[in-house]
Structure 1
Amino acid sequence: MPRGAECSGLVVIASFFHRLAAFFIIVWVGFGLAACAGFVKGGDNRHNIPLAPALVKALHDMGSSPGEAMVIRIFKTEEILEVWKRTSSGQYKLFKTYAICAYSGELGPKMKEGDYQSPEGFYTVTPGLMNPKSNYFLAFNTGFPNKFDRAHGRTGSHLMVHGDCKSVGCYAMTDAGMAEIYALARESFKGGNPNFQVQIFPFRMTSASLAAHASSPHLSFWQNIKEGYDLFDINKAPPAWDVCEQRYVFNPMASGPLDEMGACPPVIQNAALDARKAADSQALSNVMALADRQASEQAAIRARGEAVNGFFSGIGNMFGGQPAPQPAAATPVQ
C-alpha cells in the first residue's frame, strides 16, 4: 500500500474515534444535566411554569386576567382553599377552589412555635414571601406571626402554603395544586399588584356555624375575624385590616398604621355588616338560652332523684334503719 494511502487511512480512523468520543461526551453531559434537573431542588424552573391556556381563558371569560389582583381564602373544616380574582367591575369573583391535602392541629389559631397548629387570621403576602425553591415543590409564606399574632405574644416560623401532602403547621396543597396557585400569585405580582391577602378561617363563618361553636375558648377571636369575612362577602373586595386594642379592625378610618395596644379608631359603617352582627348575637343568645333550659331540666331531674332517694331513706329510718318488713310467705296447706 502506498505510504500516502496508509496515512490517509489512519487520519480517517482517528477522525472517526474523535467524533465518537465527542458524541459520548455530549450524551454524558446531557444526561448529567437531566439528572441535575431532576434532583436539584428548585433548579428546574418550576416557579416559571406558565398558566395553562384553559386557566387563562377561564379568567378572561369571567372578566379578569392573570395580572389582576387576587385573594386567597382558606377553610379548615371544609378543607378547601379558594382563589378569588378581581374582575373588570372592580369586584372579586371566585375563580377556583382547591382541596387541601393536609393541615395540622385543630380549629383555632396558632399559639406558639412547635404546637403543630396551622394559623388562622388575616395575612398579607408580598413577593418576598414567595419560595420558588421549597423542599415541598413550591410555596409561599403566610407571614405568620403578623401584627395581631405579635400583639398576643404568639410565636412560630415558616408557616407555609406549599406542595406535597404533609404538614407541620402548614397547608399542603399537592404539587399539582400548588403549581397553579403559585403561578396565579406570580402573574398577579407581574401585573403590578404589591401583595395579596390570605384569609384563614376555622369554617364557613355563618351565624349558625359560629353558634355551633359557642362553647369554644376561641369564640371571641372567631367573632373578630368574622367581621372581615362578612365584609368581603358583602362588598366582594378584601377589607383593609390593622390591629388595635389587641384585636383586628377592618376598614379603619385612619391615615397610618395603628398602635396594636392603643385605642381603635372609628371604622367605616356598613348597615349589612350590622345586620349580620345582630343575627350572630341572636343565634348565640338562642344557643345560650337552650343550654340554660337543658341545665335547668337536668337540675330538676337530679332534684327529683334526690327527693325519691330521701323518701325511701325516711321509710327505712322508721324501721330502725332496717329495710321495711316484707309480707310473710303464705303457710302451705297440709
Structure 2
Amino acid sequence: MNAVEGGGSRAQQAAARVRPALQRDLAALGLEYGGAVFMRIFKREAELELWLAGKDGRYQLFRTYPICTFSGGLGPKRRQGDRQAPEGFYRVGLGQLNPASSYHLSFNLGYPNAYERANGYTGDFLMVHGSCVSIGCYAMGDAAIEEIYTLAEAALRQGQAAFEVHAFPFRLDDAALAAARASPWFDFWSELKPGYDAFERERQPPRVRVENKRYRIGEG
C-alpha cells in the first residue's frame, strides 16, 4: 500500500475544507482548479510562492505563504544529518505526495536530485510539510499545507506529470547576489541564478539539466 492509498481520507478532508475558497480565489484571477502548479521557496524571506499556469501557458502568482520554519541556514544541503534545508531545482510527482505524513500532509522534494547525486551529497526524505518543526525540511503550518497540497494534488491528478519546486537562498536579483560575493556559496548561487532569471523573464519554469556536476539552464 503506498502513501497516497494509505492516507487518502486526510487529504480528502483537507480538500473539502479548502477547495471552495480556493476555487473562488482562482476564478477571480482567471485561473482554474487543477491547473498546472509551480513553486518557489526563498529561505531568507521565509516565503513559498505558489504559481498556477494561466490559459496562455504563462504562470501567475496565486499565493505567497510564510514558511513557519526551516532548519539550518543559507546554503545547500550536502550530507545526511547536517540539518540543512535543501536549495536547488526539484520535481515532484504524484508518488512523492504523502497524505499520511506525521506532519499532517507533505510532499517529498526529491532530494538528492541529479546535481546532488553527481556531487556526492547524501540525505533523503526532505519535505515540504505541515506543522511548525523542521529537521532539514520546510514546515508550512497545517493551514497553509492544506491549500498547497490540495492544489498540487489536483494539478497532478488533472494531468501535470510533475511540478517543479525551485528552492533559493533569497531572491536572486543582481544586487542581492552581488552582496553575497563573500559567501562560500556564491559560486553555487551563481549556478541557480539563471534559473531564477529565466522564470522572472518568461513566467515558465526553464529546462534544468546537470553537466559536469553543475546546473545548466535552458529555455523551455
The TM-score with structure 2 as length reference comes to 0.93
Structure 1 alignment gaps of length 5 or more: 1-41, 253-267, 269-334
CA offsets 1:75-104 (integer angstroms, 9 cap, x no match): 000000010000012110100011100100
Q: Report if the CA contact (8 A) 1:66-1:191 is conserved.
A: no
Partner of 1:47: 11
Q: 1:198 aligns with which of 165, 180, 183?
A: 165
Q: How many angstroms does 1:43 deviate by?
A: 5.4
2:112 aligned with 1:145 = yes
Q: Is the Cα–Cα contact under 8 Å of residues 104 and 167 in structure 1 kept in the other structure?
A: yes
Give 1:242's aligned residue.
209
1:66 is the counterpart of 2:33: yes
| Structure number having the greater strand percentage | 2
Please name the residue that 1:208 is paired with.
175
Q: Is the 8 A contact 2:72 2:136 kept in 1?
A: yes
Name stretches of at least 5 consecutive residues in structure 2 with no aligned partner: 1-5
Which is worse superposed, 55-64 or 100-109?
55-64
Deviation sequence 1:199-232 (CA, Å, 0-9, x none): 0000010111111110011111101111000000
The answer to whether the aligner puts 1:127 opposite 2:91 as a matched pair is: no
The residue type paired with residue 235 of structure 1 is: E
State the distance in 1 between where 2:95 and 2:19 align: 24
**Bigger fraction of residues in helix:** 1
Rg comparison, structure with higher value: 1
- C-alpha deviations, 1:141-167, integer Å up to 9, x for none? 000000000010000111000000000
Kept after mapping to 2: 8 A contact 1:71/1:84: yes
Structure 1 consecutive aligned stretches of length 4 or more whose deviation exceeds 2 Å? 49-52
Q: Distance in 2 between matches of 1:114 and 1:44?
A: 30
Q: Is the 8 A contact 1:124 1:197 kept in 2?
A: yes
Identity score, percent: 48
Q: How many Å apart are 1:54 and its aligned residue?
A: 2.1
* CA contact 1:131–1:138 (8 Å) conserved in 2: yes
**Equivalent position amino acid for 2:206 in 1:** P
Conserved in 2, the CA contact under 8 Å of 1:62 and 1:87?
Answer: no
1:8-49 C-alpha deviation (Å, 9 max, x unpaired): xxxxxxxxxxxxxxxxxxxxxxxxxxxxxxxxxx75812113
2:68 aligned residue: 101
Distance in 2 between residues matched to 1:189 and 1:135, nearest whole Å: 22
TM-fit CA distance, 1:64? 1.6
Structure 1 counterpart of 2:186: 219
Confirm or deny: 8 A CA contact 2:7 2:99 kept in the other structure: no
Deviation at 1:61, TM superposition (A): 2.1
What amino acid does structure 2 have at the position aligned with 1:127? L
1:251: Cα distance to partner?
1.8
One-letter code aligned to 1:46: R
Q: Partners in 2 of 1:69 and 1:248 — Cα distance? A: 24
Q: Which has the higher contact order (CA 8 A, sep 6+)?
A: 2
TM-score (normalised: structure 1):
0.62
CA-to-aligned-CA distance 1:112-131 (integer Å, 9 cap, x gap): 00000000000000001101
